[in-house]
């Protein structure tokens, strides 16, 4: 097998302690240019963007274990004659911490108290609560499920927008594509966790943003391509939206001249909502490796046709 990742040496150390019999690590590199022989690799543990630069040369590849949740670089490749496995069930706890850090920030008006303290004013600013508020989740997969569960712990009403899955017991109401404006019109907070696919690209556009109540806060921690940047900036500048929290952008790193850097009431968090940790990913890899050598179905297989 080969390891191609920015954390390659860390992954190598972790896997060497997993006692994975018959597993031979041929290379562990973070730079594709340092690898000379891809054609004999049958298993690859890799960051998707790095893998996309060499995938066409991996003529003997049988299984690729991605280290990330987002795999668009691999879905964009024409090579599809291998099993591609994603990462699930490790990001939920991190994402709900991220989402609720901001939900509580806005609900309890943390900035208002900071300003009051700066001006030495013993007069509490207006505050609100999450109890009874309506949270919309776009993309109710395993991560969305975790966010929805925490929302119910705060006694929130959860509305889910989905293309397919409708089995989350923490969602009070589900909406489909033809109900998108109705879905948006009811919300106090909207969390976008959608993958980047043909169906989701630019879905959060002027029509959807206009449908949101003016007091609504939008959090995008899915993929930057799901947001129409110009429409979001216009909504914030015209006060048609209270605030937006943007963890992901269509181009990363975000260009220095991009308006997101200086748009009022837009909060950037530099793609840190739910970071892949090698300790978690190596555990997933080890479990899948045992299944692979025993000719069992692999966990978290992705569908090239659906792109998720």
Angle between helices 92-107 and 142-153 (to 10 degrees): 40
* Average confidence (pLDDT) over 282-290: 97
Can you give the pTM of this predicted structure? 0.91
Q: How many residues does the chain have?
A: 308
For 137, the enclosing helix (H) or strand (E) is strand 134-138
Identify the domain containing residue 128 by its residue range: 92-268
Q: Domain for residue 307, yes or no?
A: no
**Mean pLDDT, rounded, for 95-107:** 98
Calpha distance 281→87 (Å, rounded): 7
Same domain, 285 and 174: no
Residue entry with tokens 């089995």? 167
Q: What is the CATH number of the domain that holds 249?
A: 3.40.50.720
Report if residue 78 sits inside a domain: yes
SS3 261: helix
Asked if the structure places residue 56 within a domain, the reply is yes
Do 51 and 112 belong together in one domain? Answer: no
- Residue 308 in any domain: the answer is no
Question: Are both 59 and 175 inside the same structural domain?
Answer: no
Q: Is residue 301 part of a domain?
A: no
| pLDDT computed for residue 292 by the predictor | 97
- First and final C-alpha spacing in the chain: 24
Mapping DSSP to helix (H, G, I), strand (E, B) and coil, where does residue 34 land? helix
Tens digits of residue pLDDT in 77-93: 999 999 999 998 899 99
Are residues 191 and 98 both part of a single domain?
A: yes
Give the model's pLDDT for residue 156. Answer: 98
Please tell me whether residues 142 and 240 are part of one structural domain.
yes
Note whether 202 and 285 are same-domain residues: no
Task: Give the mean pLDDT of 59-85.
Answer: 96
Q: Say what the pLDDT of residue 70 is.
A: 87
Q: Can you read off the two tokens belonging to residue 185? A: 């019109």
Q: What is the pLDDT of residue 163?
A: 85
Q: Which two tokens stand for residue 120?
A: 């030495």
Q: Judge if 82 and 156 occupy the same domain.
A: no
Spatial contact of 4 and 26, defined as CB atoms under 8 Å apart:
no
Shared domain check, 209 and 81: no
Examine the domain organization and report whether 97 and 69 are in the same domain. Answer: no
Q: Which of 223, 216, 157 is nearest to 184 (CA)?
A: 216
pLDDT tens figures, 12-21: 999 999 989 8
Query: Are 34 and 187 spatial neighbours (Cβ–Cβ below 8 Å)?
Result: no
Q: Does some domain include residue 190?
A: yes
Q: Which pLDDT score, from 0 to 100, does residue 166 have?
A: 87
Judgement on whether residues 116 and 78 belong to the same structural domain of the protein: no
pLDDT at res. 151: 98
User: Distances in Å between the alpha carbon of 220 and those of 49, 141, 250, 266, 272?
Assistant: 21, 15, 11, 11, 12
Report, in angstroms and rounded to the nearest whole number, the Rg of the chain calculated over CA atoms: 21
In a domain? residue 248: yes
Beta strands 43-46 and 2-4 are: parallel
| Domain-embedded: residue 304 | no
Instruction: Specify whether 26 is located in the same domain as 137.
Output: no
Residues contacting 59, CB < 8 A, separation 6+: 38, 39
Residue 165's pLDDT is 79
Q: Are residues 120 and 213 in the same domain?
A: yes
Predicted local distance difference test score (pLDDT) of residue 171: 98
Q: How many domains does the chain have?
A: 2
Residue 119, number of CB atoms within 10 A of its CB? 7
Q: What is the pLDDT of residues 119-170, one digit of tens each?
A: 999 999 999 999 999 999 999 999 999 999 999 999 999 999 998 778 999 9
């Amino acid at each position: 097998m080969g390891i191609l990742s920015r954390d390659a040496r860390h992954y190598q150390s972790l896997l060497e302690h997993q006692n994975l019999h018959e597993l031979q690590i041929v290379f562990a590199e973070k730079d594709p240019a340092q690898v000379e022989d891809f054609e004999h690799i049958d298993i690859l543990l890799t960051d998707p963007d790095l893998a996309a630069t060499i995938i066409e040369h991996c003529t003997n590849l049988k299984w690729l274990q991605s280290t990330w949740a987002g795999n668009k670089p691999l879905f964009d490749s024409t090579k599809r004659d291998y099993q591609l496995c994603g990462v699930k069930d490790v990001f939920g706890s991190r994402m709900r911490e991220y989402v609720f850090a901001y939900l509580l920030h806005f609900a309890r008006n943390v900035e208002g108290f900071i300003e009051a303290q700066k001006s030495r004013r013993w007069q509490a600013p207006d505050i609100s609560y999450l109890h009874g508020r309506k949270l919309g989740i776009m993309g109710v997969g395993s991560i969305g499920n975790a966010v929805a569960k925490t929302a119910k712990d705060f006694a929130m009403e959860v509305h889910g927008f989905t293309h397919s899955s409708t089995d989350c017991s923490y969602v009070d109401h589900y909406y489909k594509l033809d109900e998108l404006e109705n879905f948006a019109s009811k919300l106090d907070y909207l969390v976008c966790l959608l993958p980047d696919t043909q169906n989701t690209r630019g879905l959060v556009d002027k029509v959807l943003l206009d449908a949101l109540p003016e007091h609504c806060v939008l959090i995008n921690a899915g993929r930057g391509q799901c947001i129409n940047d110009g429409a979001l900036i216009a909504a914030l500048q015209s006060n048609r939206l209270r605030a937006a929290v943007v963890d992901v952008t269509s181009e990363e790193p975000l260009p220095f001249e991009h308006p997101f850097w200086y748009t009022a009431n837009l909060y950037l968090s530099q793609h840190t909502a739910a970071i892949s940790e090698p300790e978690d990913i190596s555990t997933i890899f080890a479990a899948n490796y045992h299944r692979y050598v025993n000719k069992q179905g692999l966990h978290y297989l992705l569908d090239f046709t659906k792109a998720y």
